[in-house]
Structure 1
């Protein structure tokens, strides 16, 4: 690996900082084959490219919406197919279907989370109104 190549790669700590995922989580994703680092250093350290970081960010965005690891894998594979100009029409159609399904599921999850946030804010307001330590306007 040349010095320029080494600079183009990020070590796992840098990736963890950029993605706000723990090092343990990133290692787990590597162990299960969800996001494999593009290279290893001479010492065996994981080295990640910007594309690897983008894949991890897709996963990070999916986590709070309740997607399973298998759904994450399926979406990443679909995105790979759509990014590959050599993919055939049938593969592209199947990949597009996966993306649409994930978008529908993500939209539903966002709506559920918004409702939960509304309830939480409503409850907080309820408690503030009943707290004797809070001055009344």
Structure 2
């Protein structure tokens, strides 16, 4: 194996995704190994790792597999896009803008949830402290 390709175990370590999760994303068509070794092992490139990182970052924000697929299709098209018309480029960028706005809203929601969880943990900690002092 050359330095350009990685086996799934190295990709799992680099992305902090399980082998099972990577295989699931492969089965759903979100990522496809760039090559196979002579022995049939999946081989991935840096671009594949970057794609998995996009997926990994979308997951905790609650994006569905279909939304992930849509975003990746738009970025793939933009990345390949020497033959894009101006209208198509604008439409793809508008899609990306929509995902960015959705991500920002979801980050705000997560921060609110985290603040509430921290308040709850502090309430329990205070209760335990009062209970221990009694």
Same fold (TM over 0.5): yes
**Paired residues, what number?**
132
**Structure 2 segments unaligned to the other structure (5+ residues):** none
Residues 45-60 of structure 1 aligned to structure 2 (within 5 Å): 45-60=41-56
TM-score (norm 1): 0.89
Partner of 2:94: 97
TM-score (norm 2): 0.91
Cα RMSD of the aligned pairs, angstroms, is: 1.7
Partner of 1:118: 115
TM superposition shift of 1:7: 2.1
TM superposition shift of 1:42: 0.7
**Structure 1 segments unaligned to the other structure (5+ residues):** none
Q: Which has the higher contact order (CA 8 A, sep 6+)?
A: 2
Q: CA, structure 1 residues 17+134, in 2 after alignment: closer, same or farther (shift >3 Å)? A: farther
Residues 1-137 of structure 1 aligned to structure 2 (within 5 Å): 6-84=2-80, 85-132=82-129
| SS state at 2:128 partner | coil
Per-residue deviation, residues 39-71 of structure 1 (Å, max 9, x unmatched) = 011111110000000000000000000000011
| SS state at 1:8 partner | coil
TM superposition shift of 1:100: 0.8
